[in-house]
Amino acid sequence: MVLYNEYNRYVLNHCNSAVDVVEIGESQRKIGEVLKVKPLGALAMIDEGELDWKIVAISLDDPKASLVNDVNDVEKHFPVISLSPN
């Protein structure tokens, strides 16, 4: 279950660890904006020496939302975005 907290970040489970959502749609969004999104995958990053997970998602109201269902579709419909490890 995903909950929303007072810091405009999503919280997963009882550990209270925040996970950022990176929305890749065509519209520019405001930081902290609450959207209904379709999760596409996860991206592991290192932030200040610690693992920091990002959920890659597309807003359900994006024109390409019906075309993109997982990370394999991202590069096909958004060629400037690469989620490949290379």
pLDDT per residue as tens digits for the range 46-66: 878 878 788 888 999 999 999
How far is residue 50's CA from residue 48's CA, in Å, rounded to a whole number? 6
pLDDT of residue 1: 35
pLDDT in tens, 7-49: 445 555 445 556 678 888 888 888 778 888 898 888 888 878 8
Three-class DSSP category at 19: strand
CA distances from 10 to 1, 5, 54, 64, 77 (A): 10, 6, 10, 24, 26
pTM above 0.85, yes or no: no
Q: Which domains does the chain have, with CATH numbers?
A: 2-77 (3.90.80.10)
Q: What are phi and psi of 14, to 5 degrees?
A: -75, -5
Give the whole-angstrom CA distance, residue 27 versus residue 11. 24
